Structures are given as structure tokens and as C-alpha cells.
């Protein structure tokens, strides 16, 4: 369930007041260089990866106490961002809209890390509506922790800032790991997973939108373009409904099985009790359980090298290649060895999957819908 924000009606408030909400709100997604590409250009990627020992689904395991370990390596390939603003007058930030986490945070003027000097920073003194708190939290990543101080201010989202949430709780980063955040094209992260995943019990941005009747429906959807000629415009995020002109055929709905991430179960002969998959816009790759990699590569006509799976370039490739060299493409696949919470194989459906499918996140009915994109 989506919990109500303190002193508010949450989803119940939406059910009573949906008639007052405006229709669909769209956020343009910018397609930019990924952290991996920028670190490779700077010559620091190989050394960074040598010190990061991880399994791509490690961050999706049950958390310990109040600590949520975010799989920062997932963000290395993320390349789709959108603009928000915080404060009065509005201060603009480019954020990663991430269905794999739940906290909203941006850099602050108090942050002295090199990563913060490379990005837009929130200036509390310049906002007439900012309210500070004496609370702070650490969001742990594989390469270190992001320390955030908490505050409240006005959040504006969507084209023209037509979604306005007053007194939205958010984090102001005080310290960030230089690698990889220095190389990130986005300034901060707007988490869109379940409130139960939020570090420190922070109120999420989606909770604020629902509580203040900013969405026509408790639904949001991603449409990531897969046309190569759209170099900088990567697609859009629509809040409050869906556009039937952007998909074809019927919508296939999958119920959420674990209300932390957007985790669903898919019917497959590969898994005795159904495969578990996390739909994560903060991950670019498709993560595959190790026991199925050989079958998938065989079906795609690919072969596994010492580090990456490769296949001949050209033709209809359901997985968008990341790299091309001497007529071969690197498939956007990586392997995991860890299972889901119920012991079943766990997949991560990242942007390469979402490019092919119009994806709908239904907060009222706790389900995710998929339909082929047009």
C-alpha cells in the first residue's frame, strides 16, 4: 500500500478528490551520456570497477535495519533524466527518475565533495519556503555513502512545473562519493519505488503528489524512445494516466509481489514458482540469472567472451547494443547469482527492456502493465 503522508489522506484523499485534479502531466526525458561512458573517456573506469565487488541484484535484497544499500553500479549506464525544481523561486535540477529507489535528494551548497561542485546545488537561503530539520541520513552505495540533511520545500514537476507539491520532504546531499557521482550527468535522484523502501521513512515525491491531488489517476508510465535519430530526446514520463496512442495491442498486467521495489512475477517454465523481476528505470541493462545466460545467448545467436556477451551487429536485436566493434555488438546483459526473496531467480528489467514496452506503474492496484511501444 501507498501510505499517507503525515497528517494527510494519501491515496484516500485522491479517491475523494480526483475530480479536482488536472489531466496528464508530462516530463520530457533527456538522453545523455552515461556515467560509464564519461568515466571511460576520463580513463578512470577500469580502476573503479576493480574496487567494486558486486552482484547487480545485491541492492535488492532485504535491508538491514534502516540501511538500504543502493546498487550504484546500476546507475553507471543510466542515461535518461528529467528536470524538476525545488524552492520559491524555483531552483532547477536534472534528476534520474528511478523506480528502483524511493528517496528524493539533490546536492546542496553545504556539500564540499568534488561531485557536488560539478552539479547544480540547492541554496536554502535563496528559497522563501524552505524549512530545515535537524535530521540526516546516510544512503549507502557500493562505492560509499551519500549523506543527506532533510528539509521541506515546494517541489515542481512536469513540463511548465504544472505539478506543485508544497512542503515536500527531500534530502540535501552533504557528502557524495567522487566516483562515480562526479561523472553523473544528473544532479540528484527522484525515487519512485514504494514508500516502505525510503531511507529514514522519508515521505516520497509520489506520496506528496497523491496527497495534494496533483494526479488525475494514481498511475505513472514511462515511454523510452528506441529510434536512433532521437539523439538527445529520450522519451517521456507521464504522471496521472496513460496515452493509448503510444502503445499497440492489449496491456498485460503483472501484480506486484514485493512492495518495496516494483517487483512482479512472470509465468515461465524456467522457474518452478514463476520468475521474479524488478522493473527498474534506474538500471540500463537487463540482468539475467546465471543459469539462463547460455540459453539466452544461444537464442540470440551470441557468444560469451571473457567479459561480455557479443553477437553480430545488424538485424532486429531485441536488446539494444551498448558497444560496436569490428562488426560485433555488446549485448546489454549482465549476470546475477543471487535469487529473489522467495528463492526464485531474480531478473532486473532495465531501460533496454523498457525501450520495447510501454510500461505503466499502477499505484492504486499495485501492478505493472506492459504493452508493445509504437
Known catalytic residues are: 98, 280
Closest CA to 141 of 87, 94, 110, 180: 180
Distance CA 281, CA 231 (A): 19
Preceding peptide of 168 cis, ω within 30°: no
Backbone angles phi, psi at 156, to 5 degrees: -120, 130
Beta bridge partner(s), residue 346? 276
Instruction: Give the Cα separation of 368 and 9 in Å (integer).
Output: 24
256: cell is 506486484
CA 239 – CA 219 distance, rounded (Å):
6
Q: How far apart are CA 261 and CA 64, in angstroms?
A: 16
**What are the phi and psi torsion angles at 62 (to 5°)?**
-55, 135
Residue found by looking up cell 560509499 in the block: 144
Q: Where are the beta strands (DSSP E) in 195-343?
A: 219-224, 233-239, 252-259, 262-266, 275-279, 286-289, 303-304, 309-312, 323-325, 328-330, 333-336
| Coil, helix or strand at residue 107 | strand
Work out the angle at residue 268's Cα, subtended by the Cα atoms of residues 262 and 270, and round it to the nearest 5 degrees.
Answer: 110
Whole-number Å distance between alpha carbons of 267 and 275: 7
Q: Please answer whether residues 193 and 202 qualify as being in contact, where contact means their C-beta atoms are separated by less than 8 angstroms.
A: no
Nearest to 142 by CA among 179, 108, 115: 179
Amino acid at each position: 500500500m501507498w501510505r499517507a503522508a503525515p497528517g494527510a489522506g494519501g491515496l484516500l484523499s485522491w479517491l475523494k478528490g480526483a475530480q479536482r485534479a488536472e489531466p496528464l502531466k508530462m516530463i520530457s526525458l533527456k538522453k545523455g551520456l552515461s556515467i560509464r561512458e564519461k568515466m571511460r573517456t576520463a580513463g578512470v573506469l577500469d580502476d573503479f570497477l576493480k574496487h567494486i565487488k558486486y552482484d547487480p541484484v545485491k541492492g535488492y535484497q532485504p535491508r538491514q535495519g534502516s540501511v538500504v544499500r543502493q546498487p550504484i553500479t546500476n546507475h553507471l549506464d543510466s542515461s535518461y533524466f528529467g528536470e524538476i525544481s525545488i524552492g520559491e523561486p524555483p531552483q532547477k535540477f536534472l534528476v534520474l527518475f528511478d523506480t528502483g529507489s524511493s528517496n528524493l535528494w539533490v546536492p546542496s551548497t553545504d556539500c564540499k565533495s568534488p561531485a557536488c561542485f560539478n552539479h547544480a546545488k540547492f541554496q536554502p537561503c535563496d528559497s522563501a519556503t524552505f524549512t530545515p530539520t535537524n535530521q540526516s541520513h546516510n544512503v549507502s552505495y557500493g562505492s560509499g555513502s551519500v549523506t543527506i540533511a532533510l528539509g521541506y520545500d515546494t517541489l515542481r514537476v512536469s513540463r511548465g512545473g504544472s505539478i506543485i507539491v508544497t512542503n515536500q520532504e527531500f534530502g540535501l546531499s552533504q557528502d557524495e562519493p567522487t566516483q562515480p557521482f562526479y561523472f553523473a550527468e544528473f544532479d540528484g535522484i527522484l525515487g519512485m519505488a514504494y514508500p516502505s523502501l525510503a531511507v529514514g521513512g522519508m515521505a516520497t515525491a509520489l506520496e506528496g503528489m497523491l496527497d495534494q491531488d496533483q494526479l488525475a489517476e494514481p498511475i505513472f508510465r514511462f515511454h523510452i524512445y528506441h529510434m536512433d535519430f532521437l539523439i538527445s530526446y529520450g522519451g517521456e514520463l507521464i504522471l496521472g494516466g496513460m496515452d493509448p496512442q503510444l502503445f499497440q495491442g492489449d496491456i498485460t498486467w503483472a501484480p506486484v509481489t514485493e512492495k518495496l521495489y516494483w517487483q512482479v512475477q512472470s509465468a515461465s517454465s524456467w522457474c518452478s514458482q514463476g520468475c521474479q523481476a524488478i522493473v527498474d528505470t534506474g538500471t540500463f541493462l537487463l540482468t539475467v540469472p546465471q543459469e539462463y545466460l547460455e540459453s539466452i545467448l544461444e537464442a540470440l545467436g551470441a557468444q560469451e567472451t571473457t567479459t561480455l556477451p557479443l553477437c553480430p551487429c545488424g538485424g532486429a536485436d531485441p536488446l539494444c547494443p551498448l558497444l560496436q566493434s569490428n562488426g560485433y555488438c555488446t549485448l546489454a546483459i549482465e549476470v546475477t547469482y543471487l535469487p529473489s526473496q522467495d528463492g526464485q531467480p531474480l531478473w532486473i528489467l532495465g531501460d533496454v527492456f523498457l525501450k520495447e514496452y510501454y510500461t505503466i506503474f499502477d499505484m492504486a492496484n499495485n501492478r505493472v502493465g506492459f504493452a508493445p511501444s509504437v
